[in-house]
């Protein structure tokens, strides 16, 4: 794929000569400067919630160069497992915040330029499709409910903003290789003209991978976690007239991985398109329409006979939706947002089951359905001197339709043919907050909110096996609903130092989890609740050439269970730590140079809901260095897991997986 990516970028570079980009909506007399390619400006209520922003430097200077690694700078960000996007099953890449994990679906809503990025069938995030070098910023809002973001923002929202042509420059690229011979390359061209620009970008990562199986447990069939992924992105932004802006974006990607054994290969493929129209006059409008198409395949190998036992050969899914937000003129001290959004998720599963002893076909299985959500929201802010008040309400009409599960034996005879009744209902959620500027240095804030998340098609209809544990689906799952509150402060102790802290109390009712119901048997079920109380702390120092950023989260989450789940009452949710922190120290010894060291810690976790099969604490150190060479060309060196910490990512029935070992990278960058 590397040749088409390079050719596409080169063609665009030739086709569009460079011009000075006009990103100024006014003149030189102090009118507001508009950055093309973004949505409507933030409203004053944003800082009323617990918000952390990552700038472009933080996003592009991680030890691994992966998108999820940048998100780990926000303590409390959590995937289902500790594995990164090169060595985990893609369907386990759910994103969540505030220790509200417990299954592989995302409880946080991830948006790229306003478009949801969670998979329509599984609910995971395709991390390898999101190249960090294409982004200008990431804003993480922890808690906060759904509000104007859309349904699914249960634990918070992760908003990704693409870099514009002015940020990227006409041409950027990088090529790196590590001590295992793995490579990471990307290329971007961003020509601009008066009132518009285009961006075309490609990325290709490949490698033989490392052994995720501990050395003592390896057998002849054990394989490295080999991977190969590519993504290609195109974006055109054009201002049309004085107040109207058109944004068109396309994305295609493919991700191939091998997990644990030879032949245990999986693949994710996707294509996205979106159109966004933004008007910035007195009546402001932000309208988005998008389409997403995904497919997933996976071969499961027996861990005793090392032969294929399940071929998830085809999982086509689609997500279609859009959003319209209107901001009428209501005065200088108020902001009113009126909106409607819609999302339709449809998917089907086709898989074959084989005997581990004879290799004969045992079953053909088929499952799928359609989920829809139509939401209406109102959000209102009022600024009264040092006080900002915000309140909003949202009503969602959801449907769970056309659900089925069918199994045939090798002769085609029907073993199971279940068709599930259609369901629909309304969910009403709300949020409100206050921000008080006590003085120039100190700001106090408080908020309360609710939100909800539909069960995914995967949770409703698809069983799966992580040997020796079987997990059954559950078509009767109810939506999850969160209610919570928080209060905190932001302190600018000096021009060079800031500190913030937030205490929160969140409760997810009907939390969906993989609940143990027998020996090596689990089922997705609604728990009574998951309670999580904790404190989030963030600190930053900017001493000119030296900098420090750190985040820490301590959480006390627990399962609330009655009836059949009473044995789980008081337990930690699976895969959930009590404490995590991330700190980065940086030094800029000269113009264009950067040296950074990142220390991260994740506390003890458990694989299961019964607090068995522990995952020990893990502490890692990553390094990053960029040194200018000639012109815009720089040398790059990175280290992942400098101390070679053993990171246990899975402990299922005694089968252990481990994470990335000590890894050294070296390469060059142009234009960063």
pLDDT interval class at 5 (50, 70, 90): very low
Q: What is the mean pLDDT of residues 27-40?
A: 64
User: What's this model's pTM, rounded to 2 decimal places?
Assistant: 0.91
Preceding omega of 468 cis (within 30 degrees of 0): yes
Give yes or no for residue 11 having a pLDDT over 50: no
> Is 187 or 79 the better-scoring residue by pLDDT?
187
**C-alpha to C-alpha distance for 351 and 267, rounded to whole angstroms:** 14
Question: pLDDT, tens digit, for every residue of 448-501?
Answer: 999 999 999 999 998 877 667 788 889 999 999 999 999 999 999 888 999 999
**Once rounded to an integer, what is the mean pLDDT over residues 619-644?**
97
- What does the pLDDT read at residue 367? 96
- Rounded Cα gap, residues 166 and 163, in angstroms: 8
For residue 34, what pLDDT is reported? 64
Confidence of residue 218 (pLDDT cuts 50, 70, 90): very high
Q: What is the pLDDT of residue 29?
A: 39
Local confidence band at 376 (pLDDT 50, 70, 90 cut-offs):
very high
pLDDT tens-digit map of 558-598: 999 888 778 888 898 888 899 999 999 999 999 999 999 99
Gap between the Cα atoms of 636 and 176, Å rounded: 8
The C-alpha atoms of residue 352 and residue 308 are separated, in whole angstroms, by 10
pLDDT of 27 higher than 80: no
* Local confidence band at 102 (pLDDT 50, 70, 90 cut-offs): low
Would you give the distance in Å from CA 48 to the centre of its chain?
A: 23
pLDDT digits (tens, 9 = 90+) for 652-667: 877 899 999 999 999 9
Query: Yes or no: is domain 2-670 CATH 2.40.170.20?
Result: yes
d(CA 182, CA 131): 17
Asked if residue 554 has pLDDT above 70, the reply is yes
Q: What is the dihedral of CA 106, 615, 655, 470, to 10 degrees?
A: -40
* β-strand pairing of 156-162 with 334-354: unpaired
Strands (E), 135-243: 135-142, 156-162, 171-178, 183-189, 192-193, 196-207, 227-240
Phi, psi of 46 (to 5 degrees): -55, -45
Q: Do the beta carbons of residue 470 and residue 658 sit within 8 Å? A: no
524/504 Cα distance (integer angstroms): 27
- What mean pLDDT is reported for the chain? 90
**Helix (H) or strand (E) run with residue 190 in it:** none
State the DSSP string of 6-48.
Answer: HHHHHHHHHHS--------SS-TTSPPP--TT--SPPPTTGGG
Query: Mapping DSSP to helix (H, G, I), strand (E, B) and coil, where does residue 646 land?
Result: coil
Q: What is the CA radius of gyration of the chain?
A: 24
The structure tokens listed for 402 are 């056309």
> What tens digit of pLDDT does each residue of 154-179 get?
889 999 999 999 999 999 999 999 99
Write the DSSP string, 407-473.
EEETTS-EEEEEEPPPEEEEEEEEEEEEEEE-SSSEEEEEEEEEEEEPPPHHHHH--EEETTEEEE-
CB neighbour list of residue 526: distance below 8 Å, 6 or more residues apart: 477, 478, 480, 510, 511, 512
382-411 per-position pLDDT tens digit: 999 999 999 999 999 999 999 999 999 999
Neighbours of 328 (CB within 10 A): 12
pLDDT value at position 160? Answer: 96
Q: How many CA atoms lie within 13 A of 311 on its CB side?
A: 14
Length of the chain: 672
CA atoms of 612 and 425, how far apart (whole Å): 37
Q: Are strands 521-526 and 633-640 parallel, antiparallel or unpaired?
A: unpaired
Q: Work out the average pLDDT over 12-26.
A: 35
Are 342 and 321 contacting, i.e. CB atoms less than 8 angstroms apart? yes
Burial of 270 (0-12, 13-18, 19+ CB in 10 A): buried
Query: Which of the four pLDDT bands, split at 50, 70 and 90, describes residue 44?
Result: confident
> In the predicted model, what is the mean pLDDT of residues 611-633?
94
Among candidates 638, 661, 471, which has minimal Cα distance to 83? 661
Structure tokens at 453: 């998340």
Choose among 484, 539, 667, 575: nearest CA to 104: 575
CA distance 521 to 514: 9
Query: 91: which 2 tokens?
Result: 């369907």
| Contact criterion met (CB below 8 Å) for 260 and 212 | yes
Query: Residue 121: left (phi > 0), alpha (psi -120 to 50), or beta?
Result: alpha
Closest CA to 62 of 564, 464, 574, 623: 623
In three-state secondary structure terms, 584 is strand
**Cα angle, residue 659 at apex, residues 656 and 664 outer, rounded to 5°:** 145
3-class DSSP state of 344: strand
What's the farthest any 2 CA atoms get from each other in the chain? Answer: 80
Rounded to 5 degrees, φ, ψ at 360 are -75, 150
Strand pairing of 108-112 and 156-162? parallel
Identify which of 483, 533, 545 has the alpha carbon closest to the alpha carbon of residue 508.
483
> Tokens in use for 277?
């129209």
């Amino acid at each position: 794929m590397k040749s088409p990516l390079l050719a596409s970028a080169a063609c665009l570079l030739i086709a569009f000569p460079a011009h000075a980009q006009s990103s100024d909506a006014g003149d030189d007399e102090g009118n507001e400067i508009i950055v093309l390619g973004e949505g409507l400006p933030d409203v004053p209520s944003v800082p009323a919630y617990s918000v952390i922003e990552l700038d472009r430097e933080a996003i592009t200077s991680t030890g691994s160069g992966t998108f999820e690694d940048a998100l780990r700078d926000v303590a409390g960000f959590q995937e289902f497992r500790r594995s990164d996007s090169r060595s985990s099953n893609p369907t386990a890449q759910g994103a969540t915040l505030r220790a509200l994990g417990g299954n592989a679906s995302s409880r946080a809503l991830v948006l790229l330029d306003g478009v949801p990025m969670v998979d329509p069938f599984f609910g995971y995030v395709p991390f390898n499709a999101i190249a960090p070098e294409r982004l200008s910023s990431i804003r993480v809002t922890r808690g906060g409910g759904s509000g104007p973001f859309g349904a699914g923002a249960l634990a918070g929202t992760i908003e990704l903003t693409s870099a514009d042509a002015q940020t990227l420059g006409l041409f950027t690229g990088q090529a790196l290789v590590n001590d295992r011979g793995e490579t990471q390359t990307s290329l971007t061209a961003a020509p601009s003209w008066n009132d518009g620009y285009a961006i075309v970008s490609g990325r290709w990562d490949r490698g033989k991978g490392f052994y995720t199986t501990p050395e003592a447990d390896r057998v002849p069939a054990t394989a490295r976690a080999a991977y190969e992924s590519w993504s290609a992105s195109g974006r055109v932004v054009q201002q049309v007239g004085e107040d109207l802006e058109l944004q068109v974006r396309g994305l295609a990607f493919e991700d191939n991985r091998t997990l644990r054994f030879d032949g245990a290969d999986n693949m994710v493929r996707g294509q996205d398109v979106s159109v966004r129209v933004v008007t910035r006059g007195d009546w402001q409008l932000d309208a988005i329409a998008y389409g997403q198409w995904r497919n997933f395949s996976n071969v499961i190998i027996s861990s005793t006979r090392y032969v294929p036992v399940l071929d998830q050969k085809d999982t086509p899914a689609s997500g279609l939706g859009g959003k319209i937000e209107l901001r009428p003129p209501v005065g200088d001290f108020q902001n009113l947002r009126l909106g409607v959004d819609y999302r339709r998720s449809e998917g089907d599963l086709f898989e074959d089951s084989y005997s581990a002893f004879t290799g004969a076909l045992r079953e053909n299985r088929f499952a799928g359905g359609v989920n829809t959500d139509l939401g209406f929201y109102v959000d209102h802010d009022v600024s009264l001197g040092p006080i900002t008040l915000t309140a909003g309400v949202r009503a969602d009409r959801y449907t769970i339709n056309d659900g089925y599960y069918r199994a045939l034996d090798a002769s085609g005879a029907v073993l199971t043919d279940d068709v599930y009744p259609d369901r629909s209902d309304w969910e009403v959620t709300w949020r409100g907050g206050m921000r008080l500027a006590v003085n120039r240095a100190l700001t106090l804030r408080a908020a309360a909110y609710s939100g909800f998340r539909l069960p995914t098609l995967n949770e409703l209809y698809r069983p799966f096996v992580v040997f020796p544990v079987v997990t059954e689906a559950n078509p009767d799952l109810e939506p999850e609903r969160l209610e919570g509150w928080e209060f905190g402060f932001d302190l600018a102790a000096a021009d060079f130092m800031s500190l913030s802290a937030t205490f929160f109390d969140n409760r997810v009712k009907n939390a969906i989890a993989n609940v143990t119901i027998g020996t090596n048997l689990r089922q997705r079920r609604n728990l009574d609740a998951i309670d999580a109380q904790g404190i989030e702390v963030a600190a930053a120092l900017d001493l000119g050439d030296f900098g420090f950023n750190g985040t820490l989260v301590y959480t006390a989450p627990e399962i609330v269970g009655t009836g059949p789940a009473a044995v789980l009452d008081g337990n930690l949710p699976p895969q959930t730590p009590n404490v995590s922190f991330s700190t980065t120290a940086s030094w800029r010894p000269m113009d264009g140079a950067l040296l950074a060291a990142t220390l991260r810690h994740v506390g003890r976790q458990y694989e299961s809901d019964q607090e068995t099969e522990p995952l020990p604490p893990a502490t890692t150190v990553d390094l990053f260095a960029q040194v200018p060479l000639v012109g815009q060309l720089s040398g790059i060196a990175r280290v992942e897991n400098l101390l070679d910490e053993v990171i246990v990512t899975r402990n299922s029935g005694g089968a252990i997986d481990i994470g990335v070992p000590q890894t050294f990278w070296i390469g060059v960058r142009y234009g960063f």
